[in-house]
Amino acid sequence: MKKFLDEGKLLLVAIPVLVWTLLPIYHLFVLSISNQESMLAGKLWPDQPTLQNFQIVFAQQHYYLHNFWRQMFNSFLIAVATGLITLFVATFAAFAIARLKVKGGRTIMNLALATYLIPAAFLAIPMYKAMGSYGLLNTQASLILAMVALASPYAIWVLKQASDKLPKELDEAAVMDGATSIQLFRLVYLPLMKPSMVVIGIYALLLAWNEYLYAFLLLSSEKAVPLAVGLGLFLSADDAPWNLLMAAGLLYAIPPALIYYLFRKNMVGGLTSGAVKS
Amino acid sequence: MSTAAMTAPLAAPREDASAFTRDRAMWGAIMLAPYVLVFAVMVVYPVAYGLWLGLNWNSYRALFADPIFIRTVVNTIVFLFVAVNLKFLIALGLSGFFVQQRPWIRIVLVLFILPWAVPSIPTILSFRVMLNPENGMLNQQLFQWFGIMEGPGWLTDPTLAFMSSIFVHIWKSLPFWTLILITGRLAIAADLYEAASVDGANRWQQFRFITWPSLATLYVTSTMLSMIWTLGDFNSVYLLTGGGPGDLNHVLATLGIRYMRNNNLDLGIASIIVAMPLILPMVFVMVKRLSKGPDA
């Protein structure tokens, strides 16, 4: 009896939590399969569920969606480039700071941490102005660079902490055998760091895929912007076809959500070593 | 005599060692260079440029004369205080729920982290449509179930719109902090609780004397981190209400962008610089805490 009571109490927590969590996602899904009428009537479930919205999105048959696939590709390109460049920059830096104990490494680490902690929204305007003076505005390179700058600090921090956990004796043994720094990096460090590098690559990739503010500041041409900004264009009209927006939004949300769930264990493991940016 | 015998064989490796030290120093510099370059180009120069643009004294006068700015500062403080505290109280409670060992609770947890896993744009825009006072799902349902003809103006009433932004912010960031507090709770040794219940401690006493003391440091660190990031939450305000109605609901993170889009860059920069005395001390404390180690 007491067991049932306990279970009941837990359910009393679980049900409101699930309703609260799932409501906007359910709403997103329902609108994406609603026709215009059901949507405007605010139905909990559409009268005639339809996949027509997705057809329109796939065929880019709406003014707001003319560049859908192009923008999806842009999002992909920017995210992958950010992930790879961040990995390159951060792995090198973490190795130099944690294993080679390079002079000034600690200072750089602290400066990077400060950059990580200052909210990106406050760096956006200065970065926008700087991009203007570099002549990079409206190029995807500017967004990739900005995202690398925003992703690297946390990446370096996590990789440095993981590096600190590797036993020192490994380096010493390799040095005894006459290994140079670069051999140490390639043969000892990289193989051991692979799991952390996967987490960091995904972190940077998702950060770039999800970014809205920087993308809409740095890029303006409809052919150059990633999908996040393409979806934001729907905000410019009051009577926008929200059902189409939700269908496109769902397609945009699925890849990162899948990645999150596939790598959930690793991501949560990364959490315990600090804090991922929420 | 043994010293002499010892130093001879050590002399040769020392030369090797210094060669290796040089090699290390060289490669250390080379490998740190890409990040130093990114940092110089994307952080140092922009910040210096921003500060230089911010040297115009008149823009601060104009800023403090702007009623929207004053309103924004008040909004930001209320937003921070309400959102962070509410979020952490809920997260603290929910983490206690999620550490219960039940298979079905694991499934609930998997669903619970969805807001964190899904990008902001589609979900916040979904909120925006759902809360639309005229044909949004929420008010339409209020009408159908309760016959409320004119439902609340979730996004058109200034106070409600502000609360909606806080609500959306909490929705998005709650899973992350709950996960953090769950890992904190799981790190507490189970036999502490067993011993306590043998001694007849009730639930509250267990929380008060076991859970809270173990979680307190993590709770404070997390709250501070969350304060900084909440301060920078652009999306929950901008994508939901655009800072409206009537520019009454901006926070410092969105106000700079608003000034910039109105071709008033000087005020945008000034509003960011004015926020720095609020942000930098927190950043400074957090850098000190985090550079010591993850659990500091």
Length, in residues, of chain B: 296
Q: Does ipTM come in above 0.95?
A: no
Same domain for A88 and A206, yes or no, is yes
State how far the Cα of A216 lies from the Cα of A7, in Å rounded to an integer: 48
Residue A230 placed within a domain: no
Beta-carbon neighbour count of residue B262 at 10 Å? Answer: 10
Residue A231 placed within a domain: no
Q: Does residue B116 have a pLDDT over 70?
A: yes
Same domain for A16 and A109, yes or no, is no
Q: What is the CATH number of the domain that holds A198?
A: 1.10.3720.10
Instruction: Give the chain A residue whose CA is nearest to the CA of B14.
Output: A176
DSSP code, position A50: -
Residue B296 in contact with partner chain A when CB distance is under 8 A: no
Same domain for A244 and A152, yes or no, is no
DSSP code, position A234: G
State whether A27 and B130 contact (CB < 8 Å): yes
Looking at per-residue pLDDT, the higher value among B144 and A140 belongs to A140
Q: Given phi > 0 = left and psi -120 to 50 = alpha, else beta, which region is B246?
A: left
Q: Does residue B7 have a pLDDT over 50?
A: no
Same domain for A60 and A100, yes or no, is no
Residue of A68, A80, A120 lying closest to A225 (CA atoms) = A68
Distance of CA A206 to the CA centre of its chain: 2
State how far the Cα of A229 lies from the Cα of A240, in Å rounded to an integer: 15
Same domain for A187 and A248, yes or no, is no
Same domain for A104 and A168, yes or no, is yes
Q: Is B155 helix (H, G, I), strand (E, B) or coil?
A: coil
Q: Does residue B295 have a pLDDT over 50?
A: no
Among B39, B94, B253, whose Cβ lies nearest the Cβ of A17? B94
Q: What is the pLDDT of residues B150-196, one digit of tens each?
A: 888 899 999 999 999 999 999 999 999 999 899 889 888 888 888 88
Instruction: Give the chain A residue whose CA is nearest to the CA of B234.
Output: A121
State how far the Cα of B190 lies from the Cα of B101, in Å rounded to an integer: 12
Assigned fold of B67-292: MetI-like fold (1.10.3720)
Pair A10, B97: CB distance under 8 Å: yes
Residue B292 in contact with partner chain A when CB distance is under 8 A: no
Residue A15 in contact with partner chain B when CB distance is under 8 A: no
pTM: 0.89
Residue A90 placed within a domain: yes
Residue B28 in contact with partner chain A when CB distance is under 8 A: yes
Looking at per-residue pLDDT, the higher value among A3 and B44 belongs to B44
Instruction: Give the chain B residue whose CA is nearest to the CA of A98.
Output: B28
State how far the Cα of A65 lies from the Cα of A84, in Å rounded to an integer: 29
Instruction: Give the chain A residue whose CA is nearest to the CA of B258.
Output: A125
Amino acid at B225: L
Pair A108, B35: CB distance under 8 Å: yes
Residue A232 placed within a domain: no
Residues B234-251: what's their mean pLDDT?
90
Residue A22 placed within a domain: yes
Residue of A132, A176, A151, A169 lying closest to A276 (CA atoms) = A151
Same domain for A217 and A81, yes or no, is yes
Q: A186 lies in which domain range?
A: 77-223
Domain count, chain A: 2
Q: What is the pLDDT of residues A245-268, one digit of tens each?
A: 999 999 999 999 999 888 877 665
- The mean of the pLDDT values for chain B is 87
Same domain for A92 and A206, yes or no, is yes
pLDDT band for position A2 (50/70/90)?
A: low
Same domain for A130 and A87, yes or no, is yes
Q: What is residue A63's predicted lDDT score, i.e. its pLDDT? A: 82
State how far the Cα of A17 lies from the Cα of B97, in Å rounded to an integer: 11
Q: What is residue A269's predicted lDDT score, i.e. its pLDDT? A: 53
Most distant CA pair in chain A, distance = 75
pLDDT band for position B15 (50/70/90)?
A: low
Residues 211-250 of A with CB under 8 A from B: 212-213, 217, 228, 231-232, 234-235, 242, 245-246, 249-250
State how far the Cα of B40 lies from the Cα of B48, in Å rounded to an integer: 10
Beta-carbon neighbour count of residue A154 at 10 Å? Answer: 25
Contact list, B226 vs chain A (CB under 8 Å):
278
Instruction: Give the chain B residue whose CA is nearest to the CA of A230.
Output: B121
Sequence-distant (6+) residues with CB within 8 A of B209 are B196, B201
Same domain for A89 and A212, yes or no, is yes
Residue of B102, B95, B92, B108 lying closest to B182 (CA atoms) = B95
Q: What is the pLDDT of residues A169-227, one digit of tens each?
A: 888 888 788 788 888 898 889 999 998 899 899 999 999 999 999 999 999 898 999 99
Pair B27, A181: CB distance under 8 Å: yes
Same domain for A93 and A203, yes or no, is yes
pLDDT band for position A239 (50/70/90)?
A: confident
Q: What is residue B256's predicted lDDT score, i.e. its pLDDT? A: 92
Same domain for A82 and A201, yes or no, is yes
Structure tokens at A55: 């057809």
Among A118, A148, A256, whose Cβ lies nearest the Cβ of B119? A256
Looking at per-residue pLDDT, the higher value among B196 and B4 belongs to B196
Structure tokens at B237: 């305000």
State how far the Cα of B178 lies from the Cα of A20, in Å rounded to an integer: 15
Residue A72 placed within a domain: no
pLDDT band for position A62 (50/70/90)?
A: confident
Among A27, A119, A209, whose Cβ lies nearest the Cβ of B232? A119
Q: Does residue A275 have a pLDDT over 60?
A: no
Looking at per-residue pLDDT, the higher value among A236 and A51 belongs to A51
State how far the Cα of A47 lies from the Cα of A56, in Å rounded to an integer: 19
Q: Does residue A271 have a pLDDT over 50?
A: no
